[in-house]
Structure 1
Amino acid sequence: MQTAIAFIVIFGSLVFFHELGHFLFAKRAGIMVREFAIGMGPKIFGMTKGETVYTLRLLPIGGYVRMAGDDLDSVELQPGYRVGLLMNEDNVVEKIILNQNNQHPNVLFMEVERADLERELWIEGYDEDENLVRYNVARTASIVENGKETIIAPYDRTFNAKTVGQRSMAIFAGPLFNFILAFFLFLMMGLLQGVPTNESLPKIAQVADNGVASAAGLQRDDVVTAIDGNKISTWEDLSQAIQAKMGQAMVMEVERQGERLTFELTPNIVENDKGEKVGQIGIYAARAYEKSPVKAVAYAGELTYETATMIFKAVIKLVTAQLSIDELSGPVGIYKYTEEATSYGIFNLMFWAGALSMNLGIMNLLPLPALDGGRLLFFGFEALRGKPIDRQKEGLVHFVGIVLLMILMIVVTWNDIQKFFF
């Protein structure tokens, strides 16, 4: 249950901040946002505020911000449509009602001849006396169909009406907010836990499975106080003592929750990366931390840079076939790694969330169809050409990209299932 809650909170936060970036910069550019959705698939919950519907959807595989001007957004009133019109005091249309009967009060009925609901905002047709009439339509007018009300989007409030710079920023803002979230999480780690110092305490942060220390009974958070009667004050003292006794039995004294315990163990002799023989018992150091707001900011910047560098290197390895698809992880793998991070405490979980946020931001900026980076690439072509790419061709490219991404997601998820459950 703890892992499930952590996964939902982390996933929800990553998606929320990503879509929040799109949302805020779209609104800043004057673009009408139809829907702000967390998750995909069937709607679980929805709430309308202003001109935007905020929804929570069933499948935890992403989210989206639907802006006015999308292919599915436009409503065309074809000649011959019978519609009902609700007018305001100035005789301007406030509602256009489709699929409605004569029982609706205060409605003027019209058989549509022509309509412009994007630029000049008017509707023309024949009234019930067969007279040709024309009415202006309000910028905030809505279309009602089968009980569902949708506000019209004047062309200047659609995504495609904005400049290349405004559209690019609305798309780039999603990954940007993921980078901001990662930096914030790393900053909170530095402020709450402190910034790691060069000093390492003789405290065990982790015990390797099937190692000498694990077999002897050592546990995480044990503090080593002495080896063979010699006092241990720092991790460097502990490391030197282990090297001096490699292959030989030694007595280790530790403090565990105020209790003094003694263990006998023999360090294994292994070769390090340089081919040198060293002693090893299978324990990892607990770092000492210093609380400083100034250093916490620098620490957050360092972690952000290091995490981004690590992800970029992984992407390069994937592109150059040094990393196979089998090594990638999808939602199942992320859930399992979240479970592992949860077991090591809140700060490990915060770091994992920050790393995931950086990963989501960087992967979304890859110049691939259907990703934010793919859309930015098309905007770049538009800026160079001085005119946009054909919308249908661009849409087809993104559709193919979505299909390929879904196939990749299925393959990666299946690999995760085999890896963790079989």
Structure 2
Amino acid sequence: MDLSAWWGSLWDTALIKVIPFLFVLTVIVFFHELGHYLVGRWSGIRILAFSIGFGPELVGFNDRRGTRWKLCAIPLGGYVKFFGDENAASVPSRTALDSATAEEKRGAFQNASVGRRAATVAAGPFANFILSIVIFAATAYASGIVVGDPVVSDVREGSPAAAAGILPGDRILTADGERIAYFSDLQRYVSSRAGTPIQLEVERAGAPRQLTVTPREETQTDGFGNSFKTPVIGIVANAETAAFRTQELGAVEALQYGVSQTWFVTERTVAFIGGIFGGTQASDQIGGPIRIAQVSSQVATLGFAPLLNLAALLSISIGLLNLLPVPMLDGGHLLFYGFEAVRGKPLSDRVQEVGFRIGLALVMLLMVFAFWNDLSSLT
């Protein structure tokens, strides 16, 4: 065996596939846990550990407040462990609380007010949304955004647009009364309305016309060969008719763009999750670490800014996933705190224990399902 060739191949694989994946995941996890950490600290809760990854510790240090900051061997998540927690999922440890001193108990997570606990838990997903806004805004401010006029250059034969009577040269003015300034505005509007009629106002030969088009969901392939389903109406805009160009944004405009993009992706993700439960979306679109690693390596070939934008997209997904009302996730904790606020006292230890066990089973099932989808996509 040629060891130099083997080592070179291994390094290339790590550089191309592993490193982009670890970068994206580490950024997302770090900011999620940082949200928990900062609000928990501001709430007077004692923090024992801040970990990126699970399993054996690779490297770490203790800060002056006694928190252990560490990087662990399994880079598939992270956690902040508060005093009074039995484990990384913040399951209460009665043993630790019973043996604690009065001063220590004051810093225990379980002894904080329900409002402080809820704020600390919600801060993780909230930090994910802030991260997405910052990334979208920063990349838009640094590089600008590509825009094009909403002018049709071609209409696909047999498409919903052809059935609606849209012709090359038409300029799209509004969709259901909403102004369409750029071609991307129309793409975004259509992307969430499969099977829903859209009232378009178009300009043709200087005169407005009212047309109705119903987007159709189709399977498309991106530049890397990945298949995905999306609603389309079947129109094309090229450089000649749409005059594609890069538009520079000021700081305020970039921030507005970041908020707008984050809101749009959040809406689409919520609609997708709802569609899975409603049976209108295919669950095979759910991916796990293997798919994230694959997409990260592909996007990394386009440059650092696209990789950051991918991190922003995934950060929104992680934030929303953690808000699901499933014990073990942040949303499950918030659900328990909601019951506590209504009842005036926490749920019993037994009820919480059963809830955490059910939540663990659901999270494990989701992980197995995501891995199965990942492996299926490779065959």
What TM-score, normalized to structure 1? 0.63
1:38 aligns with 2:64: no
| Residue identity matched to 2:45 | I
Aligned partner of 1:387 in structure 2 is 345
1:59 aligns with 2:9: no
Output the CA distance in 2 between the equivalents of 1:396 and 1:42: 28
CA 283–349 in structure 1, closer or farther in 2 if over 3 Å, else same: farther
1:374 aligns with 2:332: yes
1:346 aligns with 2:287: no
Output the CA distance in 1 between the equivalents of 2:62 and 2:118: 27
Matching residue within 100, 125, 138 for 1:117: 100
Aligned partner of 1:270 in structure 2 is 157
Alignment of 1:306-385 (within 5 A): 306-385=264-343
CA 338–273 in structure 1, closer or farther in 2 if over 3 Å, else same: farther
Q: Give the SS at the match of 2:78.
A: strand
Alignment of 1:19-34 (within 5 A): 19-34=33-48
User: Cα RMSD over matched residues?
Assistant: 2.7
Q: Is the 8 A contact 1:330 1:416 kept in 2?
A: yes
Aligned partner of 2:112 in structure 1 is 162
| Residue identity matched to 1:309 | E
Q: Is the 8 A contact 1:185 1:351 kept in 2?
A: yes
Cα distance, 1:74 vs. partner?
6.2
What TM-score, normalized to structure 2? 0.69
Aligned partner of 2:61 in structure 1 is 47
Q: Deviations over 1:21-61 (max 9, x none)?
A: 11111111111111111111222222222311111112222
CA 391–297 in structure 1, closer or farther in 2 if over 3 Å, else same: same
Cα distance, 1:69 vs. partner?
0.8
Q: Give the SS at the match of 1:271.
A: coil
1:302 aligns with 2:260: yes
Q: Give the SS at the match of 1:274.
A: helix
Q: Is the 8 A contact 1:35 1:54 kept in 2?
A: yes
Higher strand share: 1
Q: Is the 8 A contact 1:195 1:295 kept in 2?
A: no
Output the CA distance in 1 between the equivalents of 2:262 and 2:287: 21
Structure 1 residue runs of 4 or more that deviate by more than 4 Å after TM superposition: 72-77, 276-287
Output the CA distance in 1 between the equivalents of 2:236 and 2:328: 45
Cα distance, 1:287 vs. partner?
4.2
Output the CA distance in 2 between the equivalents of 1:291 and 1:282: 26
Q: Give the SS at the match of 1:69.
A: coil
Q: Give the SS at the match of 1:270.
A: coil
Q: Give the SS at the match of 1:323.
A: coil
| Residue identity matched to 1:30 | G
Output the CA distance in 2 between the equivalents of 1:314 and 1:76: 41
Alignment of 1:277-296 (within 5 A): 287-296=245-254
- Structure 2 unmatched runs, 5+: 1-14, 88-92, 169-233
Q: Percent identity?
A: 31
Q: Is the 8 A contact 1:272 1:278 kept in 2?
A: no
Q: Is the 8 A contact 2:24 2:307 kept in 1?
A: no
Computing the radius of gyration from Cα coordinates, the structure with the larger value is: 1
Cα distance, 1:274 vs. partner?
2.5
Output the CA distance in 2 between the equivalents of 1:76 and 1:344: 50
Q: Deviations over 1:140-196 (max 9, x none)?
A: xxxxxxxxxxxxxx1111011111100000000000100110000011111111144
CA 74–35 in structure 1, closer or farther in 2 if over 3 Å, else same: farther
Cα distance, 1:399 vs. partner?
2.4
Which structure's relative contact order is higher, taking Cα pairs within 8 Å and 6+ residues apart?
Answer: 2
| Residue identity matched to 1:70 | D
CA 287–2 in structure 1, closer or farther in 2 if over 3 Å, else same: farther
Output the CA distance in 1 between the equivalents of 2:238 and 2:288: 29
Cα distance, 1:67 vs. partner?
0.5
Cα distance, 1:282 vs. partner?
9.2
Q: Is the 8 A contact 2:134 2:255 kept in 1?
A: no
Cα distance, 1:350 vs. partner?
2.2
Q: Give the SS at the match of 2:130.
A: helix
Output the CA distance in 2 between the equivalents of 1:294 and 1:195: 14
Alignment length (residue pairs):
288
Q: Is the 8 A contact 2:84 2:96 kept in 1?
A: no
- Structure 1 unmatched runs, 5+: 78-114, 120-138, 140-153, 201-235, 247-268
